[in-house]
Amino acid sequence: MIKVLSCEEPGSFRYMEKEEPSLQAGHAILRIRRIGICGTDLHAFEGTQPFFHYPRVLGHELAAEIVAIEPNIEFSVGDRVTFSPYFYCGECIACRNGLTNCCADIKVFGVHIDGGMCEYVSVPVQYLIQGNDMSFDELALVEPLAIGAHGIRRAGVKNGEYVLVIGAGPIGLGVMEFARIAGANVIAMDVNDQRLTFCKENLKVVHTINPTKENALTQLRSISNYDMPTVVIDATGNLGAINSAFQYLAHGGRYVLVGLQREAITISHPEFHKREASLMSSRNATTVDFNHVLDSMRKKYLDPATYITHRVAFDKVKDNFSSWLNPETGVIKAMVSLD
């Protein structure tokens, strides 16, 4: 039997036991070693996550060790791996066009199907990503960083552009990192001064704005020499922040929604139209983005360990989880260990 942590309903976790998975054709059995806690997990616990049903085993930012696998050229027992948690159908129009991240019948591990908050899982081999040269901490951070990398790729960020990233949580930080790697001038916006300080000290973001304490429009005009940012990326998933950000966009600019919330967004058509602006969503990530993250890690373009502010053992997650919803705890990334 193995231990599993299930989110039974909003605000409620329960440890339980279930049968250890057995090896199936085309799958590998993984021993989970690290679980990163992300916004999706927190929103599921709050009851504010779209596309969600209870009970659900959360967890999709994972690092693991292969404990059983059929003979395979690429992978062996004992290998360190992470995996893409976006299980796609391979047949819909999105998949046929290589957009597996937005498959019409996608099953996201830990969202639509049970995830990795347990000791062992069975995963299709096709989603595994080799990581023997990485630490377990690094491997658990590949997936959230891939979301940031995908958002920057969606935006088509070019060298020298001003890119405003709204939301300095874990996803927003990844967006900032890959905007910087693309050569952009990054501007971080958040209502939490502690997070903005983190951006300055750990990500070397030069420009930060707290819109509750200063005039954001004035600051953006000053920073961008009155041009305004050509790329605005929301990583908050907050309706107020999303609606407010349209005014920050340069003429001819692109606005990318990485964050997700439940309600309808509101646009002033004349203001949007006169800019000939582009509005797009950015969902999940693809193999291209995972490879970009791994390449950037190997080249030391970023240090993923910087994001880990809290650590907890698997059997203590239930006791600590609700505290990570409180901004005063200073949590950027909580990492769960199963050693």
Give the integer Cα–Cα distance in Å for 254 and 18: 47
Fold of 2-140+303-337: Quinone Oxidoreductase; Chain A, domain 1 (3.90.180)
Give the integer Cα–Cα distance in Å for 234 and 229: 13
Give the integer Cα–Cα distance in Å for 146 and 302: 13
Residue 309's pLDDT is: 93
Give the number of other Cβ atoms within 10 Å of residue 328's Cβ: 8
Written as tens digits, the pLDDT of the chain (339 aa) is 999 999 999 999 999 999 999 999 999 999 999 999 988 899 889 888 777 889 999 999 999 999 999 998 899 999 999 999 999 999 999 999 999 999 999 999 999 999 999 999 999 999 999 999 999 999 999 999 999 999 999 999 999 999 999 999 999 999 999 999 999 999 999 999 999 999 999 999 999 999 999 999 999 999 999 999 999 999 999 999 999 999 999 999 999 999 988 899 999 999 999 999 999 999 999 999 999 999 999 999 999 888 999 999 999 999 999 999 888 888 999 999 998
Residue 16's pLDDT is: 95
Where do you find CATH 3.90.180.10 in the chain? 2-140+303-337
Residue 9's pLDDT is: 93
Ranges of H-type helices in the chain = 39-46, 93-96, 136-140, 142-155, 170-181, 193-202, 216-223, 239-244, 269-274, 287-298, 317-320
CATH superfamily entry for domain 149-281:
NAD(P)-binding Rossmann-like Domain (3.40.50.720)
Beta strand 231-234 pairing with 162-166: parallel
Residue 40's pLDDT is: 87
Residue 168's pLDDT is: 95
Nearest Cα to 236, choosing from 320, 151, 178, 335?
A: 151
| SS3 state at 56 | strand
Residue 47's pLDDT is: 84
pTM of the predicted protein model: 0.94
Can you tell me which residue has the tokens 């004035």? 218
Nearest Cα to 118, choosing from 195, 13, 239?
A: 13
DSSP code of residue 284: S
Give the integer Cα–Cα distance in Å for 250 and 259: 20
Where do you find CATH 3.40.50.720 in the chain? 149-281
Is 124 within 8 Å of 26 (Cβ atoms)? Answer: yes
